[in-house]
Each structure stands twice: as C-alpha cells, then as structure tokens.
Amino acid sequence: MTIKALTAVFGLGLVAFCVSGSIANSVDVYLPQLKDKDPEVRLEAVRQLQTSLDSRIPEAMQSLLNDEGNSVRRLAARAIGSRWWQIPKDKIDSYVKALQGNLKSDEELEMEKNMAERGIGLLTHRYDSKVFSKSPNGRWIIYERYGLPCLIDTTTSTEELLGWPRTKDGDMDMLVCAFGNEPISEDQAVWHPSKEAIALSVLLDRRSSTVWVWEHKVGLQKLRRSDLARLLHPKGRVDESYVTDATIKGWKGDELQVSATGGLDENDGALLGWDLSKHKWRVISRGKQKESD
C-alpha cells in the first residue's frame, strides 16, 4: 500500500491508536465500566485498559467477545492476544474457543476476524495467519503490537518490541498494517531468503514512510529522515516541507534495495541499498525509480 493510499485511513487509525495509547486512571476505575449498559462507555473502557498488564484484564476481555459492538469485540480480541503469556495453560483452550466465535466471514467484520486470528495464533503458537510474518527458517515471527513490530523467538517463546520506546523526534514509527488492523502484506515485511534478517515498511507520519531492517545478533537499524536527507541530498539541499517515501524493492544477494524520494520534488529520488555485511546504506542510483523496477 502506498503512502497516498494510506492518507484516507490515517485519521481514524490515529484517533483509535492515540486513545488507546495510555491509561489516565487506574484499572479499578475502568474494569466496572466494561459492564456498563452504554456501548460507548464500554468501548472507551476497553481502549483505556488495552495497555494495562493487570492480571485481571484477560478474563475481563473474554467476557466482551460476545459484546453487541464489533469495535468492543475487536479490541477485546486484540487485548487477549497481546497477553498470551499471561494466560495459564489450563485456560488456553477456553480462550481459543471463545476467540473462534469471532472468526466471522463478513467482510465488514474483517478487522475483528484479524484480531481473533492474531489471538488464537499467539495462544496456540501457530502462526499461519497472515497477521503474522514468519522467517524462512521458522524461528522468527513478526506481528503488530502497539503499532510496532513485535518479534517472537519461537525457540524460547520470548518476544521483543522493536523500536520501543519510540523516539522523541515527533515521528509516529508505526507499521503500515497497524492502520485498519490489517494483515502484514509480503511487500511490507520482506525476509531475507536465507539469513535471519527482515525489512519492514514503517510510517513516520501520514505522508511519509521509511524502512527498518532487523538482523539477528545485529539488532534494529532505522532509516531515519536525517539519513534519507543525507543520502538523497548529499549537498545539503533539503526542502522545508520534507516528505519521505521509502519503498522496499527486495533483497539482491545480501543487499536490501529501497526506492526512496524526499522533498517536494517527487522526481528527486534514489535507489538505496543496505548491506548486511557492512551495516551501512549506499546510493545505488539516482532519479525516481519506476514502479516496475
């Protein structure tokens, strides 16, 4: 999905994400509101409780999987999946069964279905759904949490939230799939065919995108705005309204290729390369890259 296509859904996605981004009051205030007769009250309570790690949250959310509001059901399924490690083994089956009731085929309920699949996959350690991205060797799993890529090591059943905490430079730093609770498409998460490395498409704001690269034993490398400015404008010429668009083109050997533009002139772009052995970016060629490249 291109940045232009994302603009239309940005507003709603940002509101939903920001509302659920922090808990202003204690869990004890919002837990009783999950049973309120007003659906808007229940929805706001779920949003406020999403990020809490209180041990009472999974059970409270399970009871909401049959709520009349699909937004409540979707957020409840998301909350349960995010706490897969909190749920006792002897209760996993009951949670999975409850989530299976949210696997609706209705196109209008696709986001709810995606979150139910996410929860079932995390609870059962089966990652066949498209809401997950699996490394070729099967060891690593990427899924979206807090809008960021969450990395699971299947050999240890541990996870790491890549890019957390977010930088304080004002950028959003969010996976493209975070908007609309969408699956992770193959062009947004591109694994190296033989090495434990992945390229991820990330939004900086509603008009700008970039690419992150994660490699086992090396860690996360972010292609920042400042990096793009340096690579695209080596002589220091940068427009005041600096909009970036970085698109993953794929791996060529051990080099990740990324098509990037930056600035007001969309023709002012370049094909960039990230070398896994040198751990640095280079300019492969200059000029806007064709869509078929």
Q: Which residue has the tokens 């507003």?
A: 11
Mean pLDDT of 252-264: 90
Cα dist from 131 to 126, 170, 204, whole Å: 11, 27, 21
CATH of the domain at 91: 1.25.10.10
Asked if the structure places residue 60 within a domain, the reply is yes
Give the chain's domain count: 2
| pLDDT for 129 | 97
Mean pLDDT of 221-250: 82
Tell me the C-alpha distance between 220 and 202, whole Å.
13
Bridge partner residues of 133 (DSSP)? 142
Domain end position, chosen among 91, 124, 157: 124
Please check whether residues 204 and 183 belong to one and the same domain. Answer: yes
Please check whether residues 89 and 232 belong to one and the same domain. Answer: no
Is residue 55 predicted with pLDDT exceeding 80?
yes
- Would you place residue 14 in the very low, low, confident or very high pLDDT band (cuts 50, 70, 90)? very low
Tell me the C-alpha distance between 250 and 210, whole Å.
14
| pLDDT for 168 | 79
> In this predicted model, what pLDDT tens digit does every residue of 80-122 receive, in sequence order?
999 999 999 999 999 999 999 999 888 889 999 999 999 999 9
Asked if the structure places residue 5 within a domain, the reply is no
Please check whether residues 195 and 119 belong to one and the same domain. Answer: no
CB 125 within 8 A of CB 154: yes
> In this predicted model, what pLDDT tens digit does every residue of 280-289 receive, in sequence order?
999 999 876 6
Is residue 240 predicted with pLDDT exceeding 60?
no
Least confident of 22-26, 183-187, 221-225: 22-26
**81: closest CA among 33, 12, 129, 43?**
129
Domain end position, chosen among 124, 145, 162: 124
Q: Which domain holds residue 245?
A: 133-286
- Would you place residue 8 in the very low, low, confident or very high pLDDT band (cuts 50, 70, 90)? very low
Asked if the structure places residue 8 within a domain, the reply is no
Judging by DSSP bridges, how do beta strands 197-203 and 209-215 pair with one another?
antiparallel
Asked if the structure places residue 2 within a domain, the reply is no
Q: Which two tokens stand for residue 265?
A: 């002139």
Please check whether residues 32 and 159 belong to one and the same domain. Answer: no
Tell me the pLDDT of the chain averaged across its residues.
Answer: 88
Asked if the structure places residue 4 within a domain, the reply is no
Q: Which two tokens stand for residue 181?
A: 């609770």
- Would you place residue 268 in the very low, low, confident or very high pLDDT band (cuts 50, 70, 90)? confident
Q: Which helix (H) or strand (E) holds 254?
A: none
Q: What angle do CA 270, 273, 275 make, to 5 degrees?
A: 165
